[in-house]
């Protein structure tokens, strides 16, 4: 019996452009074949399929105002992401989504926004950064702290140069293992936090990076007296279904795919398995 | 539940009833294996000694949420096409015990909550459940009474109760009523049988042992504060992380999803199969981090799903007390003992 409303059914999408960003990461621009507008909230994710290989959850990296295509920054690390890396322009993918909650946009309006990105954590934040830049007057200060291990791992390098010159955007890029050509900051990204002058009640920190970064980011942000409600983190978990059934992404009583992946630290404090 | 007609069927007529059902449905029921274990399988007849069977190896869940099932079929050349696959057929599950009826009710909740899983709900809609009530405890592992799963008011189409040479049939749904109306084997129950069934239900109350040291409704708050309970350290040393407890559970529904490709390499299927949260790689992400690396943590997660996380979300115990996990555990980890250890350790705090 065939029914067309399975929650597991992907739509077909085509890769319209590919940019190599680093040794491990490529940026893919994807367009739905059925011409449907793809609306999403920054911070949401999609399930991308390579039929015959499988499905993997991937954050959306592009601006939510670009509705005829979406951009995803994919690190070649597992079976599905490796298969996507082997695809060429005009190849097809399956896509389900958008999934998850995304950043709490309404709550963030009128606030100073501090983006803290570690490594690939820039990918989901980039979508939110473009939202803030588009609606610049809805927000206060915009600060971006971005750290990678080596200079070669810095993503979206040309955009970094643009953002560096953008008025009203305070960008600092740091690398913890710089080479001799690196002229920027050095050290881990969380060590940049103490140097910031922040208005704690009016600042929201959006933090995305590897688990180890969260530990130090939280210490530094608490040192700055940022309330737990104003710290938003993104959790990465194994996911299969993306719709709250398969159980893989469960953290204590919450499903990262349904209730997250973005959570305030106020919520995560009560989930011992989260951090 | 509105009061509906109550009827009787003679035990010797059950096979006629089953034969009639088989004209329209695939009928599954309980069989005994040579090893002595009971299983659900397609049945031709109902054998009388089987009205004393203990919980089957696997619960009847397998007919609603099979061990492996296809979700999608796809082809990749020349242009990719993908279609949902939802397999379901008209089926009767005969002889479902109250614990397993509760198990199916819980699966109904999880597969319809948030977003409906049609692969489950379409099978469920095509399924007739004929239960057989329990009048005495089945085996030492069960604790259905402790989790409120001995009495069953709904979730079945027909519920049979053994009253000697007859089964007394309670009707749970309009579909169940229609089946009975179409079947000449059923006769109206009289006052005598009505009274007998009331008396039997009253008498069985003392027979079932309450094995938990507290009311099940207290467990979510107890488990919320039991993350550091020493019982998890003890179980960490004992548990083998084999996943058997998950596989035999009527309310476990975690699954893995994978693609299978035909030899042509241009078409295939996406399937799901049962997974187990007690297995080591259950929460490992692509970069290698494992968010529940120890067996104790994974078992704690399983207990919390039954008595805290899902119980809080759906306001009902997610353990039905069938005892299959305790029976199948190779190192004899017992649910009731574990729950009671958490209760006792909490008292000492």
Tokens for B308?
């805290």
Rounded to the nearest angstrom, the minimum Cα separation between A110 and chain B is: 32
- Residue B165 DSSP symbol: S
8 Å CB contact between B62 and B40: yes
Please state whether the peptide bond connecting residue B78 to the residue before it is cis, i.e. omega within 30 degrees of 0.
Answer: yes
Residue B286 at interface with chain A, using a CB cutoff of 8 Å: yes
Residue A251 at interface with chain B, using a CB cutoff of 8 Å: yes
Angle at B151 between CA B150 and CA B154, to 5 degrees: 125
| Residue A60 predicted with pLDDT over 60 | yes
- At B2, the pLDDT band (50, 70, 90 cuts) reads very low
| Interchain proximity A7–B117, CB inside 8 Å | yes
**Residues in B 214-253 with any Cβ partner in A closer than 8 A:** 227, 253
- In B231-299, where do the E strands start and end? 255-261, 267-274
Give residue-wise pLDDT tens across range A141-167.
999 999 999 999 999 999 999 999 999
Rounded to the nearest angstrom, the minimum Cα separation between A193 and chain B is: 26
Mutation for A interface: B75, B253, B291, most A CBs within 10 A:
B291
| Interchain proximity B285–A244, CB inside 8 Å | no
| Residue B320 predicted with pLDDT over 60 | yes
Q: Which residue has the higher pLDDT, B49 or B214?
A: B214
Buried b (16+ CB within 10 A) or exposed e, B247-283: bbbbbbbbbbbebeeeeeeebbbbbbebbbbbbeebb
Tokens for B285?
């992400």
pLDDT average, residue stretch B279-291: 90
CA B134 to CA B226: how far, in whole Å?
33
| Residue B33 predicted with pLDDT over 80 | yes
How many residues are recorded in chain B?
349
Rounded to the nearest angstrom, the minimum Cα separation between A15 and chain B is: 13
Rounded to the nearest angstrom, the minimum Cα separation between A139 and chain B is: 33
pLDDT at B47: 72
8 Å CB contact between B292 and B283: yes
Give residue-wise pLDDT tens across range A37-52.
899 999 999 999 999 9
């Amino acid at each position: 019996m065939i029914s067309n409303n399975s929650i597991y059914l992907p739509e077909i999408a085509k890769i319209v452009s590919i940019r190599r960003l680093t040794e491990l990461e490529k940026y893919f621009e994807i367009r739905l074949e059925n011409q449907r507008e793809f609306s999403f909230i920054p911070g949401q994710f999609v399930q991308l399929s390579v039929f015959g290989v499988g499905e993997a959850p991937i954050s959306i990296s592009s601006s939510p105002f670009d509705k005829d295509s979406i951009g995803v920054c994919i690190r070649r690390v597992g079976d599905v992401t490796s298969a996507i890396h082997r695809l060429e322009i005009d190849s097809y993918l399956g896509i389900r989504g958008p999934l998850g909650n995304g950043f709490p946009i309404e709550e963030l309006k009128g606030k100073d926004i501090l983006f803290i990105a570690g490594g690939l954590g820039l990918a989901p934040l980039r979508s939110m950064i473009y939202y803030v830049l588009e609606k610049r007057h809805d927000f206060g200060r915009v600060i971006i702290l971005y750290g990678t291990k080596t200079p070669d791992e810095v993503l979206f390098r040309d955009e970094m140069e643009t953002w560096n010159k953008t008025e009203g955007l305070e960008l600092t890029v740091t690398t913890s293992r710089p080479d001799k050509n690196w002229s920027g900051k050095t050290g881990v990204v969380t060590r940049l936090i103490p140097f910031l002058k922040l208005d704690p009640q009016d600042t929201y920190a959006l933090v995305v990076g590897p688990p180890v970064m969260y530990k130090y980011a939280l210490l530094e942000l608490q040192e700055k007296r940022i309330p737990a409600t104003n710290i938003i983190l993104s959790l990465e978990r194994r996911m299969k279904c993306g719709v709250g059934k398969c159980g893989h992404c469960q953290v204590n009583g919450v499903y990262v795919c349904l209730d997250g992946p973005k959570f305030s630290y106020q919520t995560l404090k009560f989930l011992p398995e989260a951090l | 539940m509105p009061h509906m007609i109550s009827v009787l069927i003679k035990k010797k007529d059950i096979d006629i009833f089953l034969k009639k059902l088989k004209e329209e449905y695939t009928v599954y029921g309980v069989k005994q294996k040579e090893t002595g274990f009971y299983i659900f399988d397609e049945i031709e007849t109902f054998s009388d000694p089987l009205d004393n069977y203990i919980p089957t190896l696997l619960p009847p869940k397998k007919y609603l949420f099979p061990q492996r099932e296809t979700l999608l079929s796809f082809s990749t050349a020349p242009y990719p096409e993908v279609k949902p696959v939802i397999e379901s057929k008209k089926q009767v599950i005969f002889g479902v015990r109250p614990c397993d009826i509760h198990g199916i009710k819980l699966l109904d909740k999880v597969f319809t909550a948030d977003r409906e899983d049609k692969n489950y709900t379409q099978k469920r809609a095509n399924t007739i459940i004929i239960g057989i009530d329990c009048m005495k405890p089945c085996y030492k592992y069960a604790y259905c009474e402790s989790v409120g799963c001995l009495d069953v008011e709904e979730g079945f189409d027909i519920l049979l109760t053994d009253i000697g040479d007859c089964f007394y049939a309670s009707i749970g749904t309009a579909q169940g009523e229609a089946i009975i109306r179409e079947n000449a084997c059923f006769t109206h129950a009289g006052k005598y049988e009505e009274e007998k069934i009331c008396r039997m239900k009253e008498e069985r109350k003392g027979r079932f042992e309450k094995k938990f040291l507290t009311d099940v409704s207290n467990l979510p708050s107890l488990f919320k504060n039991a993350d550091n309970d020493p019982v998890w350290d003890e179980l960490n040393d004992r548990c083998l992380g084999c996943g058997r407890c998950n596989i035999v559970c009527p309310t476990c529904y975690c699954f893995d999803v994978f693609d299978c490709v035909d030899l042509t390499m241009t078409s295939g299927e996406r399937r799901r199969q049962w997974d187990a949260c007690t297995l080591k790689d259950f929460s490992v992400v692509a970069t290698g981090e494992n968010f529940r690396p120890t067996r104790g943590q994974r078992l704690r997660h399983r207990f919390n799903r039954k008595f805290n996380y899902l119980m809080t979300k759906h306001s009902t115990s997610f353990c039905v007390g069938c005892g299959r996990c305790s029976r199948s555990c190779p190192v004899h980890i017992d649910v009731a003992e574990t729950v009671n250890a958490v209760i006792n350790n909490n008292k000492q705090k």
